[in-house]
Structure 1
Amino acid sequence: MFKKYSRIGLLVAASAIASTTGASAEGFKAENPQCIAPSNPGGGWDFICRTTAKYLFNLKVIEDSMQVTNMSGGGGGVAFAHVTKERNEDNNLIVAASMSTSARIAQGIYEGAEQDDVHFLATFGAEYGAIAVRADSPYTSLKQMMDDIVADPKSVGIAGGSSVGSFDHIKPMLVAREAGLADVTQMKYVSFDGGGEAMTGLLSGAVEALSGDFSEMLGFLESGDIRILTIMAPERLKNFPDISTAKEEGYDVVGANWRGLYMPAGATDEAKEFWKSAIMTLTQDPGFQAELEAAAIEPFNNFGDDMHKFVAGSIADVTKLSKEIGIIK
């Protein structure tokens, strides 16, 4: 299904690859830089900030170590409002963003928000969604779970690290629609503030399943705490060949989540150029790319005008898709 929406099924789109390196902008130098992760520790946004902060400092792109601040609430809305209303001219602030950020703007979850309220800096990766259960769950296949959901949509609680209508919510809805559920909005989705809390909900037994990004689940898969029923990729991942795809089980759904950053719209042009160049430098570092690969995140780079066009297209696509499945009118 995602193949119809090029910016949602991200990896079918062409990446805009940076051709220059170096984080320099005439007259600007980062001082006491900060990255806000709009969720609690343990999720994808937290990973973005901590990995970015680590490599920018290690590569000496910034002289001061970057403070990482977790600011959960409203599926990222608390952080978005904080940036736009209180720190709109902050030159030293960057914020983790993803498919969920553009989805919330599209669906009006960030009340009154528009793309240009912030300055979208870059994407640097994309990863596939997955559905997981506890290791001792009676569900051993995606089909078993979908059969139960079609029979009784409220019988299976599915956790996600973001709000109702988010990409974590949309992914299992698309699978359920493929399975034959007429009204996918009747599914039982339980929203948490971040992937870490959603995983806790799964492991505690509060829900039966978890919808999220594969990288957020990887450590728990390796520790034996969870079983991943499916990954929403076009084909099995090279490093995880035992995990079947949704398409293999008869559900033609591919879902990839972009990872990136935004900063205040009112920052200076020099600051915006500095941070764009900083992230471009980051993406060309072998160590950074190795860290993404270990987390099952594929390279997906957009900067400058390409980033603006990409986010605008993503918002348009989510709007169309959300209307199709009844999330918005």
Structure 2
Amino acid sequence: AAAAAVLPLALSACGGEDGGNTNADGTWEPNGPIEITAPAGTGGGWDTLARTSARLLESEGLVDQSIQVVNKPGAGGAIGWAYIAGNEGDPQKLFVTSPPILLVPMAGDSEYDHEDFTPIARLATDYIVYLVPADSELETFDDLVETVDEGDANIGGGSAPGSMDHVALAGAIDAAGGNAAAASYVPFDGGGEAMTALLGGHVDAAVVGVSEAAGMLEAGELRALAVSSPEPVEAIADVPTLLDQDVDFTFDIWRGVMAPSGLDEAQVTYYEDLFADLLETQAWQEESASLGWTDAYQNSADFGAFLDEKRSEFTEILTEVGLQ
């Protein structure tokens, strides 16, 4: 009888079909490698967040298990989301996320939206930069708008048509008094590809996240006409905001972590606490500052409510600039 009573507790402590260990006190922890999916290719904002988080979680000793980053590019993120959706209930698979998780489904280009996944935590806010080649004749954002109105600008972005970078471009052009519909938007699979196309002369300008562009801006390979933040960003302090140029528009790229559906409360709590601890480390503070990120932590419940709110806001923006 004693052995029979101990058996359920032993099985619980050792873990089971949930892919982790459930302890006697009801807490949970993974018992194997954690996988973080970036739903795009290397070099973009999703990839940067996934790899930065994984590296620092390990180097700061916050996890006992290894963390693997996998890239699932394609369809503006939809390929990666389908992969995660196919792993319902697996608490050792995470993915990084940002506005396209709302915008791509709204455009009808993904059968999955944010409600099909488990919000874990919002981590940071990034902003958009409007880039041109270092030797471009364009000096201000108004110069770019004038070129767009003349029908002479192909502008690359790291997200699908009607998604994050496209909305940030169209909204800014509209606020500057230009014709957003005249902008020839060229989608790429991530900001890294968009900047490569810009360097190669395949597009005239590009719209990407600050964290994606910081390295090339510092190296002088590209030049930023404006940033979409309400105030200058420390990592690119010499780049004027749109507001500085009398363009009444801001756009923030919130970045966070989600998981498949079907996680229980203990599993969600483990990851909420894990990422909260990460944001408190000096290593994260230093690296996020160099990438132009601003910490904006929200737990699972708050992040879920935030996503619902942002979907409503995006509906208004898309209607206003004629993208919906």
Cα RMSD after superposing both structures = 1.6
Q: 1:25 to 1:320 in 2, by over 3 A?
A: farther
Structure index of larger Rg: 2
Superposed, 1:116-131 pairs within 5 Å as 116-131=115-130
SS in 1 for 2:145: helix
Matched, 1:115 2:111: no
- The aligned counterpart of 1:75 is 76
1:52, 1:241 → 2: CA distance? 24
CA contact (8 A) 2:158 2:190 kept: yes
CA contact (8 A) 1:103 1:318 kept: yes
Q: Give 1:156's aligned amino acid.
A: A
5+ residue gaps, structure 2: 1-24
Which of 197, 200, 203 matches 1:201?
197
Q: 1:268 to 1:134 in 2, by over 3 A?
A: same
- The aligned counterpart of 1:236 is 232
TM normalised by structure 2 equals: 0.88
Superposed, 1:302-321 pairs within 5 Å as 302-321=298-317
CA contact (8 A) 2:157 2:208 kept: yes
SS in 2 for 1:267: coil
Q: 1:119 to 1:81 in 2, by over 3 A?
A: same
5+ residue gaps, structure 1: 1-23
Work out the number of aligned pairs and report it: 300
2:49, 2:126 → 1: CA distance? 12
Which of 176, 179, 189 matches 2:176?
179
TM normalised by structure 1 equals: 0.87
Q: 1:30 to 1:278 in 2, by over 3 A?
A: farther
- The aligned counterpart of 2:17 is none
Q: Give 1:79's aligned amino acid.
A: G
Matched, 1:170 2:171: no
CA contact (8 A) 2:45 2:211 kept: yes
CA contact (8 A) 1:128 1:214 kept: yes
Q: Kindly indicate whether structure 1 or structure 2 has the higher relative contact order, using CA contacts under 8 Å at least 6 residues apart.
A: 1
SS in 2 for 1:189: strand
Q: 1:291 to 1:25 in 2, by over 3 A?
A: farther
Matched, 1:258 2:257: no
1:233, 1:26 → 2: CA distance? 39
> Greater CA deviation, 229-238 or 303-312?
229-238
CA contact (8 A) 1:25 1:273 kept: no
Matched, 1:161 2:158: yes
- The aligned counterpart of 1:294 is 290
- The aligned counterpart of 1:92 is 92
Q: 1:292 to 1:239 in 2, by over 3 A?
A: closer
1:107, 1:289 → 2: CA distance? 35
CA contact (8 A) 1:129 1:211 kept: yes
Matched, 1:274 2:273: no
